[in-house]
Structure formats: structure tokens, C-alpha cells
Amino acid sequence: MRTSFLILFGVVCALVSAKSYSHDRSRLVDSDSGIFGPDYKKILSQMQGWRDSYPEITQLLDYGKSVQGRPLRMMIVGKPGWQLDAWFERPALIITGSTHGNEYLNIEDRLPAEILKLSATRSAVQEYIEAGGVYLFVPILNPDGYDNRARENANGVDLNRDWDVDVAQFKGFKQIETRALATKLGSLRETMGLQYRASVDYHCCVGAVLYPWSYTSNPLPGTDLQAHLSLAKLAKELLNIDYGTTGEILGYYPVGTTKDYYYSEYGTAAFTYEGRYGSENQYLGKHVEWWEKISDKINKHELRMTRLP
């Protein structure tokens, strides 16, 4: 009696542990990063802290509210007071994270502080800012998803499938988080004369850097492909990760991604950075080096794209 009870107990335990194992597997398939950050309020107060420490080159901009009413906030690092002249446009680099709210890497929310530190020392970052360059940070693009530890926004929509891609005849921007950011980027382009040169949207967990197109297997035009490859190869050298298009690396062709939007709308060298599960946060220094090298390429006019100088 006692023995059969123990056997039954053992079988139940085995079933329960198998179930929790398969649950963990599904979390991996959903590409949960395995890296946990502070709640969004803490991230907002960190951003305020950077603004207070570097007021002369830092602005915070709230560009809307999420579905659940959280502020959508970006930080702009660059020299203020540049007049917009017809002949001068300011290069801008876009760094975003947690478009998928459960793919936080703890890189996207520490890069701003590192860039600010470099702005105060002799570096490619300082040179870039002195020449009028701008860094635009949105550490948490999907704050409801982030606080709820969910891939989608509070309407249950995948925000990396909600960007306009005209060339694919795809209409996005059904969600406030994507629409408000795209509207703000469009207006900053006009008011500050920003020219979006490169963008990275931080995700998890493939261990690769992805470039356009994501919606089709058609390759980019030669010049643009070379520009993307030059930045992707830098990432490979520094971070020891793979690179390719979404289709080449993942075998599917999603429409409505951030990188297809930035590339098709602005001619930007646009990437999805897919960090490594549970460990990408160890490589902050390498990510900083990557951004230094990207800034340096722009300083030296070495990042040529078809639609940009």
C-alpha cells in the first residue's frame, strides 16, 4: 500500500516537472529574455537622472501615452540650439528596446549613461556630438508589455508587426505606441533637421543582428547592402554573433517591422539586434564599442546609403 502510494506520488511529480519544463520551453520559444529589469517607473526616473546630470546636451520628450496610460518617453542627446539650414542636416542614431515587452536585455537602458560619459571624454562619440550629431533613445518602446512581462502591447498586438512598409503595401500604426513614435520622429526630422542614419531595435534571443528586408527575400540594392554588412560585421567581431536578414537567420518573412520602416521611410541603416538568452547583459562594454564605431563611421563619412550622403 505504502509502496504503491510512493510510486503514484513519483509519477505525479514526474508529470508536474515535465509540465513545468515544457512551460519553460515555451517561454524560450516566445523569446523571453531571461533578464529582469526594474519596473518602468524606475526606468523613467533613471532617465530623469541622466537629464539632471547632463542638462546641456540632454532633453526628455514625452510623445504620448501607452494603451494603459504609461508615458511614452524618449531621450535626445545632442547639442541644442542648432539652426536648421537648408544645407545642413544633423545625423541621428535611433536606439530602442522592449518593442517586445518581455525581451528586455538591460543593454538599451544602460547605453544612454555610457554615451553621456563618453560625450565628456575625447572619443568618437564626443566628436559626433560636437559636429551636431544626435542620439535618440527609447529604452522601453512598449511600457505596458514591459511591466506586464508580455511580448505584445496591452491590446495584445505585436508592435514589431505594426509599422508602415509602403513598398510591401502594408499599413501599420494601428497602435498608439508605434504611431506616436513614428509621428514624433517625423516631426523631429522637420524641426531639428534630423537625418536618421542608423537604428537598432534591441530584442531577444537569437544571438544575431538582422537587417532588411524582413518582409521579402529580395536583397537590398548593393550600396545599402554593403553599408548594412559593414555595421553587421563590426557587431560580429565585437559580440561574436551571427548576421543576416530575418529570412536568412529565422526562416520567415514578417511584414511591419521597425527595421523595414526605418529603412524604407528614411533610408536608414536599420537593424534588429537579437540578444542572447539570460546573458546579453554581460556585454554592455561591447555594445558601447559598437556604437562608438558606428559614430566614428558617420564622423568619417564612411556610412554611405543610396538615399543618404
What residues between 253 and 282 interact with Zn ion by CB under 5 A?
none
The residue among 257 and 264 lying less far from Zn ion, judged by its C-beta, is: 257
The residue among 70 and 259 lying less far from Zn ion, judged by its C-beta, is: 259
In the complex, the smallest distance separating the C-beta of residue 164 from Zn ion, rounded to whole angstroms, is 19
The alpha carbon torsion through 55, 59, 60, 62 (nearest 10 deg) reads 150
The residue among 90 and 203 lying less far from Zn ion, judged by its C-beta, is: 203
Q: What is the three-state SS of 195-240? A: EEEEEEEEEECCCEEEECCCCCCCCCCHHHHHHHHHHHHHHHHHHC
Cell numbers placing 207: 544571438
Phi, psi of 76 (to 5 degrees): -110, 125
What angle is formed at CA 62 by the lines to CA 60 and CA 63, rounded to 5 degrees?
A: 130
Binding region for Zn ion (CB under 5 A) out of 100-108, 162-170, 219-227, 234-242: 100-108
In the complex, the smallest distance separating the C-beta of residue 165 from Zn ion, rounded to whole angstroms, is 17
According to the binding rule CB under 5 A, does residue 100 interact with Zn ion?
Answer: yes
Residue carrying C-alpha cell 563619412: 301
Sign of the alpha-carbon torsion through 115, 116, 117, 123:
positive
According to the binding rule CB under 5 A, does residue 103 interact with Zn ion?
Answer: yes
In the complex, the smallest distance separating the C-beta of residue 238 from Zn ion, rounded to whole angstroms, is 21
In the complex, the smallest distance separating the C-beta of residue 121 from Zn ion, rounded to whole angstroms, is 33
In the complex, the smallest distance separating the C-beta of residue 239 from Zn ion, rounded to whole angstroms, is 17
Residue carrying C-alpha cell 546641456: 56
Binding region for Zn ion (CB under 5 A) out of 60-68, 97-105, 127-135, 225-233: 97-105
The residue among 76 and 138 lying less far from Zn ion, judged by its C-beta, is: 138
Q: 90-97 and 194-204: which strand pairing? A: parallel
Binding region for Zn ion (CB under 5 A) out of 6-14, 175-183, 200-208, 301-309: 200-208
Phi, psi of 307 (to 5 degrees): -100, 5
In the complex, the smallest distance separating the C-beta of residue 283 from Zn ion, rounded to whole angstroms, is 18
Binding region for Zn ion (CB under 5 A) out of 80-88, 102-110, 239-247, 297-305: 102-110
Q: Which residue is nearest to Zn ion (CB)?
A: 203
Q: Which of 73, 90, 203, 276 touches Zn ion by CB under 5 A?
A: 203
Q: Hey, which residues does 76 pair with through a beta bridge?
A: 59, 136
The residue among 100 and 197 lying less far from Zn ion, judged by its C-beta, is: 100
Q: How far is CA 247 from CA 179, 210, 213, 217, 272, in A?
A: 26, 9, 8, 7, 13
Q: Which residues contact 156 (CB under 8 A, 6 or more apart)?
A: none
In the complex, the smallest distance separating the C-beta of residue 265 from Zn ion, rounded to whole angstroms, is 20
The residue among 91 and 172 lying less far from Zn ion, judged by its C-beta, is: 172
In the complex, the smallest distance separating the C-beta of residue 272 from Zn ion, rounded to whole angstroms, is 7
Positions touching Zn ion (CB under 5 A) are 100, 103, 203
